[in-house]
């Protein structure tokens, strides 16, 4: 049963003191993940266990106990992301291109990088960031890439007065007269526009 209530997903998970307990939760998570069919990662708090364990299954199943990101690239990239807790949502997020992770059940450091010809590397790199975020109470919406809304150029009525400039001179005239001048390239619409 995967939790979809945002307030529960915002819970910060507790560190585990026992690797065995972490491995048990990891096995449970992998089982749940397999049942979802489409999922590639799951964090313990998504199934109601507020402990720092998550799993990622892109290239091979991986359990991460008490994982933490110890290095991250400044460079980020935009990625189309989904989440098992928000099954109907697809958003664009901003993620680090590469990260280094330490986890209690892995010796040494684990490196993940999206800077690769294999798309699975990007999936894995994003998935690890996504799952560790869950353990810290963040969802993908906290990483959403927000584009400034595109402002379409205003279109003018033929009799609407506009201000045009050639750099030295400024004229105010009806748009229908200004249009050929603007199209000639010598004049351009000034920022200032009067409606009279
Ligand atoms: Zn998720």
148 is a catalytic site residue? no
pLDDT in tens, 127-181: 999 999 999 999 999 999 887 666 666 677 888 888 888 878 888 888 899 889 9
What percent of the chain has pLDDT above 70? Answer: 93
Spacing, Cα 155 to ligand 1 middle (Å): 43
Spacing, Cα 76 to ligand 1 middle (Å): 19
SS (HEC) of 15-37: CCCCHHHHHHHHHHHHHHHHHHC
The pair phi, psi for residue 187, each rounded to 5°, is -115, 150
d(CA 9, CA 13): 10
Predicted TM-score (pTM) of the model is 0.76
Q: Are 63 and 24 in contact (CB under 8 A)?
A: no
User: Running DSSP on this structure, what letter comes out for residue 158?
Assistant: T
- The residues with which 161 forms a beta bridge, in sequence order, are 174
CA atoms within 13 A on the CB side of 12: 2
Q: Choose between 64 and 170: higher pLDDT.
A: 64
**Residue 170 confidence (pLDDT):** 82
Spacing, Cα 150 to ligand 1 middle (Å): 29
pLDDT bin (cut points 50, 70, 90) of residue 124 is very high
Pick the catalytic residue: 131, 160, 183, 188?
131
Spacing, Cα 135 to ligand 1 middle (Å): 10
Sheet with 188-189, edge to edge strand ranges: 170-174, 161-165, 188-189
Give ion ligand 1 contacts, CB < 5 A: 83
pLDDT in tens, 77-95: 999 999 999 998 999 899 9
Spacing, Cα 116 to ligand 1 middle (Å): 23
């Amino acid at each position: 049963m995967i939790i979809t209530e945002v307030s529960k997903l915002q819970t910060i998970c507790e560190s585990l003191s026992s690797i065995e307990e972490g491995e048990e939760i990891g096995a449970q998570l992998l089982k749940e993940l397999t049942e979802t069919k489409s999922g590639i990662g799951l964090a313990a708090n998504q199934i109601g266990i507020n402990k720092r364990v998550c799993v990622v299954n892109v290239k091979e199943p991986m359990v991460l106990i008490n994982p933490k990101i110890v290095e991250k690239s400044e460079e980020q990239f935009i990625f189309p992301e989904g989440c098992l807790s928000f099954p109907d949502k697809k958003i664009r997020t901003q993620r680090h291109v590469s990260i280094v992770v330490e986890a209690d059940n892995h010796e040494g450091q684990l490196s993940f990088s999206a800077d690769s010809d294999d798309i699975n590397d990007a999936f894995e790199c994003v998935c690890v960031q996504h799952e560790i975020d869950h353990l810290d109470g963040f969802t993908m919406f906290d990483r959403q890439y927000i584009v400034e809304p595109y402002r379409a150029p205003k279109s003018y009525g033929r009799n609407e007065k506009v201000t045009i400039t050639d750099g030295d001179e400024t004229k105010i005239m009806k748009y229908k007269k200004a249009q050929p001048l603007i199209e000639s390239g010598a004049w351009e619409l000034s920022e200032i526009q009067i409606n009279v």
